[in-house]
Amino acid sequence: MKFLATLFLITLFTACNSNAHKEYLAQTENDKTAESKIHQEHPGKKLMENTCYVCHNPKTSEERMVAPPMIAVKMHYISEDTSKEDFINSMVEWAKKPSEEKSKMPGAVKKFGLMPYQFFPEETIKQIADYMFSNEIEEPEWFELHYNQMHGNRPQMKGNMGQGMGNRNGMGKNQVANTQPTVKERGMQIVQTTKAELGKNLMGQIQKNGVIAALEFCNVQALPITDSMATVHNVHIKRVTDKPRNPQNKANAAELQYLENFKKQVAAGDEVNPIVVEMGNETEFYYPIVTNSMCLKCHGTPGKELEALTLSKIKELYPMDKATGYNENEVRGIWSIRFEN
């Protein structure tokens, strides 16, 4: 609002007040918040978070990682003579056909296994790679120690590399470790670790046994895995939607309202923030579940992304299924979490 008001006044009085115009330019030039906002609005950021963070989430603890964090990918694929074009091309070629021969991360392949092929539009990979090359990538708190143990001191590399949570705002790692997370941070940690656990198991089934086996796995194990993560965090966790596959995942009236709010935000391309509702000594936390290309193998359009055999298995396992017909980057449901303050 302040920005719009300033702009209006400058437009109105430019002819008679050049000093005000100069002050405005100086303020804009030095406005770090505006610069940060530009970075946040890069389409590759949201694509990376919605697509890659299922397995590469920087909020996940080291022992729960199912793939290397994105900062590790960036460090291994960028050297002093790597141009942005080279980096983007490498990411596109890797995504088209992952192989041990192409990988520049043999240690990660040995530890996590080869990344299974997933269909991603080339433009999606290009936008993610463009964002990665030009912007700081969040790194896990444990990453710097891990890297130094494995490779020695981290090299100084060109471009904007990642920044660990413990290195921000002039705080050391020990200070961060002793700081209680905010309600929002705690909610996001629960979402991301639970999403990673589900993603790890689902990706493993797809890689080893295919999509239909993954459907059978979800039918039996998705709710127990979610419940086990609720026990780990000592919270209540639900994944709910207006178009449930399993009737147990149907959203209630309040959750449907939050779901619609998230749908509007994502459709408009707005930055999505969690909804936090504090109720006495308890907090309710809501965050959207957004589709990516992998989701469409089971939730896409029949005859398009959703193959006939897969659809037949869905009808067998879930006779009341409503969870098909989605496109990428649509809100399929929400995380509904409740915990004590």
pLDDT tens column, 186-238: 888 888 788 878 877 887 787 778 889 889 989 889 999 999 999 999 999 99
Give the whole-angstrom CA distance, residue 299 versus residue 291. Answer: 9
Region 170-176 average pLDDT: 36
Task: In the chain, count H helices and then E strands.
Answer: 16, 6
Give which of 307, 331, 337 is closest to 119, Cα–Cα.
307
Whether 57 shows a pLDDT value over 80: the answer reads: yes
Helix, strand or coil, per DSSP, at residue 318: coil
Give which of 174, 138, 170 is closest to 59, Cα–Cα.
138
> pLDDT tens-digit profile of 232-268?
999 999 999 999 999 999 999 999 999 999 999 988 8
What lies within 8 Å, CB to CB, of 168 at 6+ separation is none
Within 13 Å, how many C-alpha atoms sit on residue 321's CB side?
19
- Asked if residue 321 lies in contact with residue 308, where contact means CB atoms within 8 angstroms, the answer is no
Give the whole-angstrom CA distance, residue 225 versus residue 237. Answer: 10
Indicate the pLDDT class of residue 166, thresholds 50, 70 and 90: very low
CA dihedral 132, 138, 141, 147 (to 10 degrees): 10
Give which of 16, 10, 141 is closest to 69, Cα–Cα.
141
CATH ID of 42-177, from 1.10.1740, 4.10.830, 3.90.1690, 1.10.760: 1.10.760
pTM: 0.59
Indicate the pLDDT class of residue 77, thresholds 50, 70 and 90: very high
Whether 295 shows a pLDDT value over 90: the answer reads: no
Indicate the pLDDT class of residue 29, thresholds 50, 70 and 90: low
Indicate the pLDDT class of residue 160, thresholds 50, 70 and 90: low
Residue 276 β-bridge partners: 285
| Segments making up each domain of the chain, as ranges | 42-177, 186-340
- Asked if residue 236 lies in contact with residue 339, where contact means CB atoms within 8 angstroms, the answer is yes
How many residues appear in the chain? Answer: 341
Whether 146 shows a pLDDT value over 90: the answer reads: no
Sheet containing strand 282-290, edge to edge, reads 236-240, 331-340, 282-290, 275-279
Give which of 6, 43, 32, 31 is closest to 21, Cα–Cα.
6
Whether 273 shows a pLDDT value over 60: the answer reads: yes
Residue 310 has a pLDDT of 94
Whether 293 shows a pLDDT value over 70: the answer reads: yes
- The helix-helix angle for 211-233 and 308-317 (nearest 10°) equals 50
Comparing 117-126, 127-136, 164-173, 296-305, the range with the smallest average pLDDT is 164-173
Comparing 7-21, 221-235, 317-331, the range with the smallest average pLDDT is 7-21
